[in-house]
Amino acid sequence: MFVKWRMTNNPFTIGPDATVPEAIEVMQQNKVRKLPVVSNGRLVGVVSQSDIDRASPSAATSFSAGEIAYLFSKLKVSKVMTRDPVTISPNALLEEAAIVMRNRKIEMLPVMDGDNLVGVITESDLLDAFIELNGARERGTRLVIEADDAPGVMARLASVTGAEQTNITHIAVYRGNLDRSLVVLGVNTLNTTELERRIAEMDGFTLKYRLRND
């Protein structure tokens, strides 16, 4: 799945010369915590709620409340934004975006097609994609099967589902540090009694969990 299929198109943006209160208003009105900062059509930074929090006056300041409010009202986005933000291509895979966001500890990536900002990809977008890829909301059954990590495992499972006239809708394999693999098999039926029986009779497979979505 590509970034361009899950990104938010035409994201809300702010200019570097806008004030911080203006950025806060845009974030609050549109329920976002980060804004790409665009100047003359070019991405120059990203401003986040955490950037604004860091720029907020300390309670220990010697300024009066009125002076603080005045200074804060004049503070420019360019003074608090993160410059030269990490970006990603719309043609990158979602897992590439996930790795970048996890390694950099960031919640949003601007999506750039050349010099053009075409969208943003967020943690919420990645979670939605994960749910979709695993078919977690689709009608049917998801079976978690412990299997030997050996050639031909998937072919054997496919032969059983085929014999039962059951369509495989989703499939994922988790290895991690386990001695055996966990195969999450999504099928298009709620009645998996016979399928489970046949899997249990096969060498090298152990049914660990069942989740039905009706």
For residue 63, the model assigns a pLDDT of 44
Q: Which of 100, 130, 160 is the last residue of a domain?
A: 130
pLDDT at 55 over 80: no
Q: What percent of the chain has pLDDT over 90?
A: 65
Together in a domain, 116 and 166: no
Supply the CATH number for residue 144's domain. Answer: 3.30.70.260
Together in a domain, 103 and 145: no
Give residue 198's domain range: 138-213
pLDDT digits (tens, 9 = 90+) for 108-123: 999 999 999 999 999 9
Task: Give the mean pLDDT of 75-80.
Answer: 92
Together in a domain, 15 and 117: yes
Together in a domain, 23 and 118: yes
For the chain, the residue count is: 214
Together in a domain, 172 and 117: no
For residue 69, the model assigns a pLDDT of 61
- Total count of domains within the chain: 2
Together in a domain, 65 and 142: no
Per-residue tokens: 21: 């209160």
- Tell me the average pLDDT of the chain: 88
Together in a domain, 207 and 190: yes
Q: Which of 90, 109, 130 is the last residue of a domain?
A: 130
pLDDT digits (tens, 9 = 90+) for 125-162: 999 998 888 888 889 999 999 998 888 888 988 999 99
Together in a domain, 105 and 205: no
Supply the CATH number for residue 105's domain. Answer: 3.10.580.10
Together in a domain, 142 and 88: no
pLDDT digits (tens, 9 = 90+) for 24-49: 999 999 999 999 999 998 999 999 98
Together in a domain, 151 and 124: no
Q: Which of 107, 130, 153 is the last residue of a domain?
A: 130
Q: What percent of the chain has pLDDT over 70?
A: 92
Together in a domain, 152 and 207: yes
Together in a domain, 79 and 34: yes
For residue 60, the model assigns a pLDDT of 42
Cα of 37 vs its chain's centroid, Å: 21
